[in-house]
Amino acid sequence: MSDHQQNKTQRNNETAMAPLKTTMPTSTAKQPPQYVDTRPMITRKSLSDPLIGAAAKSKWTVQHSNLKARPSPTPTTPCALPPPQKCTSRLVKHTSADIISGRIAMTLQARSIKAKYCKSAAKCRTLDFVKFYIRLYVVPGDDGGVLVELQRVSGDYLSFMYDCRAILDAAEGKDVIMESNEYNSKAMYLRLPVSQMSFVCNDDIVLEHDLKTTQDEEDIINITSELLSSPQSDSNMLGMESLVSLVDANLTSKSTAILAAKRLVCTRHESGNGPFSLHNYAMSLIIYEDDHENDDEDDSSLEGDATSLSMKVSLNRSIAEHTRRLRTHALMALSNALDLLNSEKILCDTISASKEWYASVLIPSLIDNVKSASSKPYDATLAARCLTSLAMCSKVFASTMKNNEGCKNAGGGGGCLSALERAGQIGRDEFELLLRDVERCQSTLLGC
């Protein structure tokens, strides 16, 4: 046999042994799109479920046959949706809707974005209080597929686009790298403590903030108190945002942060809060739930368009959103303050005169927040952080949480450990940040 015949026989054998590629058309004629059951390529260091692509575990499963076409403006319906924006939409071809929705649901869980699902739409809320909708539409034809479109309702645009790009990439099956730092979306100057920045460490530079006295620091905190005591709701919100920054040593000087933290965790008499008590204001937001808070949980607009959505926003929902944000900021400020004072080994001494109030009032309220993880996962996350700091501070607090002593107002269904167990399952399915903080709290309690 000649060399030419041997090479031809070898190529034929290799072709016969090669696996068939069924996902590619075998002819040049137009073929209907073939849906490939591919797994979403999402990578993150704290991945808890190895079966990340399993459709059975997805919280959002959209049947491809139930998808509708995107409404377009017509002479009879001029108020329909405008054309999709390229930066907030993506056409995914050759993939069924259930696979796409599963990818999106897993990405939302990994990024700790609260979502409510209804048929082919999802209502989302981020940690930065950005609200947006995700909708899936079918695009018929040989060049069609599934159109994934995001629509921002309220909140910061840059924060929205940060999550929007990741969601659209995940819908296509691209890699979505999740950083371990929960503050990965913040600018670099917000990640590094001021005291560690290069221009502060330079001995030749004298900065104005180094010359501040205790009175200067108190004046800064008093400005926040004036905002919180204002009858204007927007001033109250600005004051709460300022308080969250004041008790964060990454955003202000440590001495100012410690002073603000003491005024937050102590009563008026102990900390010299003056005519306005930061403690009373923040704790009242945490302990007493407003009747309007649940008015914000409205699913009636999930299947509607932008026009109907804006017309349905009522006064009660605006009040509910404002109250909910104030309450979340209060929990953020408290968790920052407790963590700061605990890291400085002064938390126990600071709250020594109020331990009974913490054990009988605050801890049961924080457990209540953990139990509301299904509807308010971020509040539950912050409450778990507060419980962790209190448990690390005092073994009495830890024993109170484990034994459910003094926690009669914590609602039904058991005490802290059982609430953490249920919250951990919710975090595993829907909210990654909640899972991490719940596991840390459980480890702290079991180690005491």
Q: pLDDT tens across 124-170, in order?
A: 999 989 999 999 999 988 778 999 999 999 889 999 999 999 999 99
Res. 407 pLDDT band, cuts 50 70 90? very low
CA atoms within 13 A on the CB side of 218: 8
Q: pLDDT tens across 32-66, in order?
A: 444 444 333 334 333 333 333 433 456 898 988 88
Which residue has tokens 């952080």?
385
The pLDDT of residue 39: 38
Tell me how far the alpha carbon of residue 258 is from its chain's centroid: 27
CB 230 within 8 A of CB 236: yes
Instruction: Look at 169 and 308; give whichever has higher pLDDT.
Output: 169
CB 147 within 8 A of CB 140: no
| Percentage above 90 pLDDT, the chain | 48
Strands annotated E in 79-223: 89-92, 114-118, 121-125, 131-139, 145-154, 176-178
Identity of the amino acid at 274: G
Of the given ranges (110-114, 251-255, 291-295, 443-447), which has the lowest mean pLDDT?
291-295
Res. 67 pLDDT band, cuts 50 70 90? very high
Asked whether residue 312 carries a pLDDT value surpassing 50, the answer given is no
Res. 80 pLDDT band, cuts 50 70 90? low
The pLDDT of residue 27: 45
Res. 25 pLDDT band, cuts 50 70 90? very low
Mean pLDDT of the chain: 77
Q: pLDDT tens across 93-125, in order?
A: 999 999 999 999 999 999 999 999 988 999 999
CB 148 within 8 A of CB 134: yes
**Measured between alpha carbons, how far is 403 from 323 in angstroms, rounded to an integer?**
32
**Helices marked H in 156-213 — which ranges?**
157-171, 188-191, 198-201
The pLDDT of residue 411: 45
Instruction: Look at 181 and 87; give whichever has higher pLDDT.
Output: 87
Q: Report residue 160 as tokens.
A: 């929205």
Give the helix/strand (H/E) hosting 8: helix 3-17
Distances in whole angstroms, Cα of residue 412 to Cα of each of 58, 276, 286, 426: 29, 35, 19, 18
Backbone CA torsion sign across 312, 317, 322, 328: negative
89: DSSP letter: E
- Closest to 81 in 3D by CA, of 314, 303, 312: 303
Of the given ranges (32-36, 234-238, 300-304), which has the lowest mean pLDDT?
32-36
What value does the mean pLDDT take over residues 249-267?
A: 90
DSSP secondary structure string, 403-438? HTTT-TTS-SS-SHHHHHHHHHHHHHHH-HHHHHHH
The pLDDT of residue 212: 66
How crowded is residue 100: how many other Cβ atoms within 10 Å of its Cβ? 24
In sequence order, what are the residues at sequence separation of 6 or more whose Cβ sits closer than 8 angstroms to the Cβ of residue 210?
Answer: none
**Measured between alpha carbons, how far is 357 from 355 in angstroms, rounded to an integer?**
5
The pLDDT of residue 172: 93
What value does the mean pLDDT take over residues 426-441?
A: 94
Of the given ranges (30-44, 49-63, 322-336, 339-353), which has the lowest mean pLDDT?
30-44
Give the helix/strand (H/E) hosting 215: helix 214-228
Q: Report residue 84 as tokens.
A: 């999709």
SS3 176: strand
CB 357 within 8 A of CB 333: no
Q: pLDDT tens across 161-196, in order?
A: 999 999 999 999 998 766 544 444 444 444 455 555
Q: What's this model's pTM, rounded to 2 decimal places?
A: 0.76
CB 401 within 8 A of CB 416: yes
CB 164 within 8 A of CB 88: yes
